Structure 1
Amino acid sequence: MVTSSELLTLSPVLPVVVLHDADDAVPVAHALRSGGVGVMEVTLRTPAAVDAVARVAREVPDMVVGAGTVTTPQQARQAADAGAAFLVTPGCTETLVSAALDTGLALLPGAATVSEAMRLAERGLHALKFFPAEASGGTDALRAIAGPLPWLRFCPTGGITMDSARRYLELANVDCVGGSWLTPPDAVAAKDFAWIEALARQAVALTAPER
């Protein structure tokens, strides 16, 4: 079972995947895996998402699949029951964090402020999602947070592109970034899985520099 800290080291880019048809889940997972990306976050923003997580967990065993945009305790339980390996939340209410931790799965909770990050650290959570990254100050904010909280690790997500990802990965407290550009809606709709594989290969090349 993957831990929260290990989750941040599986790929320079954590694909944030929105699927409207669960039938696309396995081909997308295979495309990402063929491109060298062995982890994917399926966001619970569509009715097909939970089934998509279940299909990947069942049919693509070498893909670490998790559920993102988890906003309620019920969603945390549904994702766990579907076979998710990890949970990602956009924010960090006490009720949601407790429910997510109760599943026993790796948790990447969302934080946008120093106070939120400190509250999560008090719960023993040191691998966090910085969201929404660009709207919350981007690399400047993360560089500032590293001053008082140097032991926290982040996966910034929200508004990050292929062009801006490397700037984040150069930060000492960033191990990976979250990105939706690996699975563009047009590529998924057209079932152009070769396009997704090519984008995954580009993402793998964004390896963080040695520190």
Structure 2
Amino acid sequence: MTNRTALLANTKALAEAIPLLMGDRVEVVVHDLRSETIAHIVNPFSQRKSGDPSNMQEIDFRPSDTVIGPYEKVNWDGNVIRSISVVMRAESGDAEFVLCINHDQVDLQQLQRAVRALQPARLSSSQPESLFRNDWHERLNVFVSDWCVQNGHRVDELDRTARRDLLGALETSGALSERNAASYVARLLGVSRATIYNDLKANTG
């Protein structure tokens, strides 16, 4: 087996292996630079076949190149193809083959459109004052969330010491002065209202 024959066999093996990993949306083409034809093709969604002209001018191939791309082109069906090409060289350093990996982007583009369609309308940069001016629930939520972040805690995993520290901070800030605030904080922390009052009493005792 000559060096060129061995190189072609290895390049064909790579061409067969890549779609096994990346799926049917990947076409792999082996171009023979001597004959300027396609020597091998896997998943031929471009509707080409072995023996067809290579048309290497499509990727602006230069003999000094090693890796070409990534670059984009449009398939016959209008789908956008993202490609990358690898120059396969003999031991002498001469370029013998080019391995082109073509990835059909249609699934990714459809997913991007679906994600954009599901995105909510852009929020305003600040909360509307008319809605939140008197919403002490919102202020409590923000206070508790900020306190937990600053102190390295999760609101649903506070032990007694951390809970009492949080309640002390809430009381100091005046956040518990609202009617039913203690009951709301109890629900927020997943404890009973009696526990909240006991913790507050312990803080002052």
* TM-score w.r.t. length of structure 2: 0.26
Taking structure 1 as the reference length, the TM-score comes to 0.26
Name the structure with the higher helix share. 2
Larger Rg: 2
